[in-house]
Amino acid sequence: MVALKPHIIIQARMGSSRLPEKVMRKIGDTPMIGIQIERLKKTNLPIIVATSHAKENDLLVDYLQSIGVDVYRGSEDNVLERFYETAKYFNAKHIIRLTGDNPLIDPSFIIDQLNEVAIRHSRYFFSEGVNKRLPLGMAFAMFPHTILQEAFEKSSSANEREHVTPYMHQNFPGNINSYTFKILNDNSNFRLTVDTESDFNLIEELVLSYNCQDKTLEEIINILTENPYLCKINQGVYQKKWNDEL
């Protein structure tokens, strides 16, 4: 599966409603998105950031270019359009979708899952699936450009255009083959995504006190399990769903 060499495309922008400019907030000396990208470089897969034309993203673009990361700028609000145009511009035939909210995504987990799966259909969606077992912020989705183009052409609601993959994971056309990760343990109670100040505080603590920028998913879970105070930092944060009212 790794022979497909999927492109990693990260959605990231400065205009987050709950925590503006979070992707460029520094943890130590490094912006949060820089920590994520340094981890993802270990996959040896092409990495692209899809951001918007909004002027507030100039700082983000300048930083990404300074560290040698490819960037595409598109629509601010129509994320599906931006994502599709990014994939088309870079001729990405297979795509791993990530967001800039998840700085501790584990590169070894991504490669391990790609090595485990045997995709035998051209119309596929590879993801965690409906039975969530990963900590929030540690999953990814992979799909071919052909399905992304179809989603771009046929998705109509505002929620579908903002979240990129509903057309795929809801299997709206009825003929998309779903493949799911192989995960033994349920660790879905842990929250490692960054939507709020308390989320950021947890990631900051994990990096500065526990060097989690260099840890695997399993090692991070062990740290959270052995130090219950960590989970209290962002306890109770509501996770918005793709079909919440905009």
Q: What is the CATH number of the domain that holds 84?
A: 3.90.550.10
* Average model confidence (pLDDT) across the chain: 92
Local confidence band at 1 (pLDDT 50, 70, 90 cut-offs): very low
Q: What is the pLDDT of residue 2?
A: 43
Is 209 contained in some domain?
A: no
**How is residue 57 written in tokens?**
């993203």
pLDDT per residue as tens digits for the range 156-214: 888 778 889 999 998 889 999 999 999 989 999 999 999 999 999 999 999 999 999 99
Q: Over range 134-144, report the average pLDDT.
A: 96
**How is residue 79 written in tokens?**
């994320």
* Reported pTM: 0.94
Percent of the chain exceeding pLDDT 70 equals 95
Q: d(Cα 245, Cα 89) in Å, to the nearest integer?
A: 31
Higher pLDDT, 69 or 171: 69
Percent of the chain exceeding pLDDT 90 equals 80
Q: What is the pLDDT of residue 3?
A: 55
Rg value, the chain, Cα: 17
Phi, psi of 124 (to 5 degrees): -135, 160
Is 162 contained in some domain?
A: yes
Domain that holds residue 11: 2-192
pLDDT per residue as tens digits for the range 24-64: 999 999 999 999 999 999 999 999 999 999 999 999 999 99
Alpha helices in 72-216 (DSSP H): 79-89, 107-116, 145-154, 158-163, 166-169, 197-210
Residue 34 buriedness (CB in 10 A; 0-12 / 13-18 / 19+): buried
**How is residue 87 written in tokens?**
């994939």
Domains of the chain: total = 1
**How is residue 171 written in tokens?**
């299997």
Q: d(Cα 4, Cα 139) in Å, to the nearest integer?
A: 19
Q: What is the pLDDT of residue 81?
A: 96
Is 246 contained in some domain?
A: no
Is 216 contained in some domain?
A: no
Q: What is the pLDDT of residue 39?
A: 98
pLDDT at 125 over 80: yes
> Residue 23: CB partners within 8 Å, gap ≥ 6?
12, 13, 14, 16, 31, 32, 33, 60, 100
Is 55 contained in some domain?
A: yes
